[in-house]
C-alpha cells in the first residue's frame, strides 16, 4: 500500500455493479456474505470518519447503525439498521435497533 504506483489499483470495499461482474470485489460474497469485520471498517467523508457498528446521525435527523460499506460507482453506501430512541421512566433512555424497517 505504500507504493504510490500500486495503491491506486487496489480496492478495499465491495462494489455493487448490478449484473456486471468483472472483478472479485464486485461479487455478492464480498458485499453480503463476508464477515463485515474482515472488510474495511471505516470510510472518510468530508474529513469525518464513519465506522461500522457506531451510530451515525444523518442530515435528516435519523440515526442508523452501519454494518458494512460498499461502493456504487465512486459513491459510498452503507448497509445499516435504523435506530430509534426509547424513553422509559423506570430505566431511562436507550436506543432500539429496527432491523426490519
pLDDT tens for the 101 residues of the chain, in order: 688 999 888 888 888 887 778 887 877 877 888 888 888 899 999 999 999 999 999 999 999 999 999 998 889 999 999 999 888 777 678 888 987 65
pTM, two decimals, is 0.78
**Amino acid 101: pLDDT:** 56
Query: Burial level of 10, CB count in 10 A (0-12/13-18/19+)?
Result: exposed
Rounded to a whole number of angstroms, the CA Rg of the chain reads 17
Q: Read out DSSP for 78-101?
A: EEEEEEEEEEETTTEEEEEEETT-
Contact 13/69 with Cβ under 8 angstroms? yes
Amino acid at each position: 500500500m505504500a507504493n504510490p504506483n500500486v495503491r491506486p489499483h487496489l480496492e478495499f470495499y465491495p462494489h455493487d455493479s448490478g449484473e456486471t461482474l468483472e472483478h472479485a470485489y464486485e461479487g455478492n460474497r464480498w458485499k453480503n456474505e463476508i464477515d463485515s469485520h474482515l472488510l474495511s471498517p471505516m470510510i472518510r467523508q468530508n474529513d469525518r470518519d464513519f465506522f461500522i457498528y457506531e451510530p451515525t446521525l444523518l442530515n435528516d435527523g435519523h440515526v442508523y447503525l452501519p454494518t458494512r460499506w460498499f461502493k456504487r460507482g465512486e459513491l459510498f453506501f452503507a448497509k445499516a439498521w435504523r435506530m430509534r430512541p426509547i424513553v422509559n421512566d423506570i430505566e431511562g433512555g436507550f436506543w432500539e435497533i429496527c432491523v426490519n424497517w
